[in-house]
Structure 1
Amino acid sequence: MSRAEAQHGAYLAALREAGAEVIALATHLEHPDAVFVEDTALVLDELAIVTRPGASSRRGECAAIAEALRPHRELHAIDAPGVLEGGDVLRVGRTLYVGLGTRSDREGHEQLARLVHPFGYAVRSVPLRGCLHLKTGVTALDEQTLLAQPEWIDLQGFEGFRVLRVDPREPFAANTLRVGETLFVSASHPRTRERIEAAGFATRALAIDEIERAEGGLTCLSLLFRRREASAP
């Protein structure tokens, strides 16, 4: 556990160095997967949506996330019987791509679409084949470029993007995280990192191999959003 805790601490420090303000939540020993906060909420500029995880063992995590987000956004929720996990939602501009697999379903997708449509977001489904979450198989390096594992993701749903493919020897390398001008990649995947940098992107590698052993990745450990400015009196 000490190595995982050290890697998590280094991750938080790296976020701060990239310019993020970090809000750390209390540890909940009864919910060992709670460190993967991405799955329990989706935070957009206009609202926050508390999800209903497809893994029933994780639904107890949602109350704490809702309380943490309440000061920052108007809260909405995915209701039963729908299921949706944040790791299955990839935002690129005003489009939300939703992975449909073992953790998120069509009902969750449709509820999400109804919630965000008034704010001008498009929602598109992406069938998954062989990965836990959509962002296990694809993330955005910028708004024009994706990094993908094509064996797990149907790339036909991403027409118009420049697509970089992970090195075949590093199938789990597609999960990257952009914070401001910093693009974080996993230190476990040096060959894919070379491909990313050859395409013109500067990267910073983080060691998260203990997190990866639990099927986690860089995006899983945080919810990124901009603070709303206080209204003038």
Structure 2
Amino acid sequence: MFKNVIVRIPSKHISEGITSANEGKPIYEKALVQHENYVSALTKTGVNVTVLKPEDDFPDSCFVEDVALCTRKCVIITRPGAQSRRQEAALPDMVTTLHKFYDNVESIKEPGTVEAGDIMMVGDHFYIGLSARTNQEGANQMIEILEKYGLTGETVPLKEVLHLKTGLAYLENNNLLVSGEFKNDPRFSKFNKIEIDPDEAYGANCIWVNDYVLVPAGYPKVQQKIENLGYKVLVVDTSEFRKIDGGLSCLSLRF
């Protein structure tokens, strides 16, 4: 069960965020409303939400998931692979907040790069995607730190998606949403796999929070499959964040 969540209010320059999508530029005012609704949905799950101020020098800084990996034993501050995001991991309010919640604070060092959107937690085991943003050195450092605290990790090479959790979402109880390149990956054969249709691939990025599952708006087949598993579903519109390659998991640190 999660007790705490950290989020950051979107920058007024969010329209300048990194993107590979052809969805147009996000509308700042609309992104603010969607972010407020996201926080509201999280509070319904019973967590305490810490809201950090916007950082207008960093258009992607609302995607706080990428700058730290929160585990039950430690937090690991990352070193983002995107050059324009590298300083986000060292923003003083984020570092101070993480130290408030954790006694054990570790960090990824150069030349390693890691964005925690590439990391999926399944109990005490962590799947680490090797991507354009997370390199082998960063993954090696991450696994070494995890093992220091009695946790484990393994790497998953990515071919098609930006981040590992673009195409995977662990919903606890051995249930795993899978899309695209992960559907036949033997690493995930032990899970009860819920396959996501290609036309709703973005909907694979859901998040489990205390027996609720937050699902992006506009993906009815994904929503129905999750409801069929017995979860309580909260639907949240993330259309503005999709325009800069972001989704539900990207917008928070949950621990």
Alignment correspondent of 1:104? 134
Alignment correspondent of 2:47? 20
Flag the 1:19–1:93 CA change in 2: closer, same or farther, 3 A: same
Alignment correspondent of 2:236? 206
For residue 61 of structure 1, the aligned residue among 66, 69, 88 is 88
For residue 69 of structure 2, the aligned residue among 31, 42, 53 is 42
AA paired with 2:180?
A: P
Mapped contact 2:111–2:137 kept (Cα < 8 A): yes
For residue 10 of structure 1, the aligned residue among 37, 44, 51 is 37
Q: How far apart, CA to CA, are the structure 1 residues paired with 2:173 and 2:132?
A: 27
The count of residues paired between Structure 1 and Structure 2 equals 225
The alpha-carbon deviation at position 152 of structure 1 amounts to 5.4
Alignment correspondent of 1:92? 122
Q: How far apart, CA to CA, are the structure 1 residues paired with 2:35 and 2:184?
A: 31
Cα deviation, 1:181-210, whole Å, max 9, x if unaligned, reads 211111121122122223433322111111
Cα deviation, 1:41-74, whole Å, max 9, x if unaligned, reads 0111111111000001101111122222111112
The alpha-carbon deviation at position 171 of structure 1 amounts to 1.6
Instruction: Quote the RMSD (CA, aligned, Å).
Output: 1.4
Flag the 1:152–1:57 CA change in 2: closer, same or farther, 3 A: farther
Report the secondary structure of 2:194's partner residue. strand
Report the secondary structure of 1:2's partner residue. helix
Instruction: Indicate whether 1:141 and 2:153 are aligned.
Output: no
Once structures 1 and 2 are overlaid, which stretch shifts more, 1-10 or 199-208?
199-208
Which ranges of structure 1 fall in alignment gaps of 5 or more residues? 226-233
Alignment correspondent of 2:15? none
Flag the 1:192–1:42 CA change in 2: closer, same or farther, 3 A: same
Mapped contact 1:138–1:153 kept (Cα < 8 A): no
Identity score, percent = 36
Cα deviation, 1:87-109, whole Å, max 9, x if unaligned, reads 00100011100001111011111
Alignment correspondent of 1:176? 206
Flag the 1:92–1:143 CA change in 2: closer, same or farther, 3 A: farther
The alpha-carbon deviation at position 153 of structure 1 amounts to 6.4
Runs of 4+ off more than 4 Å = none
TM-score w.r.t. length of structure 2: 0.85
